[in-house]
Amino acid sequence: MNSDSDLQIAGDILAVQHLLQPAKEHPSTVAEFAGLARSIAADRSQWAHLVEYDATTRWYHRLRTGPGYEVWLLSWVPGQGTGLHDHGDSSGVLTVLEGELTERTEKGTRVLASGAQRVFAPGYAHDVVNDALEPAVSLHVYYPGLTDMPMHGDRCSAPEAQDVVAA
């Protein structure tokens, strides 16, 4: 006890509700959006039964919305990818739920294993592809909700010239 202070706390401080911050209903910071993605990823009952695989196109399902944000579930069969694109004015959190995805940018290549997360700002251009032999599932949180996905053509350098980083 600090003898220079007359302040003492008696009893259970957690029982004093008006001193506690109320629980947030919706995320509002990058860390909270990443935490939302991690919590959804950890609870397979929220998403596993919804996953479908389509050999002709990437499958996606809007899982949840909130004030200004969207959560999307995507599946990727081997070989499926996005092409080089950005997300317009939206920031995002990409979380790999199952399998493995490869992200290519002008700066290199990164292999994202199950559990890996990437947080990106508006205008961040990347190509995401399933280069593995098994299907993959990912979760994407966009703030604000995704309204634009401009394609950039093929500006990524050749794969053999890129660094591969395991996440």
Q: What is the CATH number of the domain that holds 73?
A: 2.60.120.10
Residue 134 forms part of a structural domain: yes
Residue 133 forms part of a structural domain: yes
Q: What is the dihedral of CA 27, 28, 30, 36, to 10 degrees?
A: 10
Each residue's pLDDT, cut to its tens digit, for the chain (167 residues) gives 455 666 666 666 566 666 666 667 788 888 999 999 999 999 999 999 999 999 999 899 999 999 999 999 999 999 999 999 999 999 999 999 999 999 999 999 999 999 999 999 999 999 999 999 999 999 999 998 887 776 887 544 333 222 223 33
Residue 92 forms part of a structural domain: yes
Q: What whole-number distance in Å separates Cα of residue 142 and Cα of residue 119?
A: 10
CA angle (109, 114, 41) in 5-degree steps? 125
- Residue 148: per-residue pLDDT: 75
Residue 162 forms part of a structural domain: no
- Global pTM exceeds 0.85: no
Residue 16 forms part of a structural domain: no
**Parent domain of 103:** 32-151
- Residue 48: per-residue pLDDT: 97
Q: What whole-number distance in Å separates Cα of residue 92 and Cα of residue 145?
A: 9
Residue pair 120/126 in contact (Cβ under 8 Å)? The answer is yes
CB atoms within 10 A of CB 14: 8
- Residue 89: per-residue pLDDT: 92
Tally of domains in the chain = 1
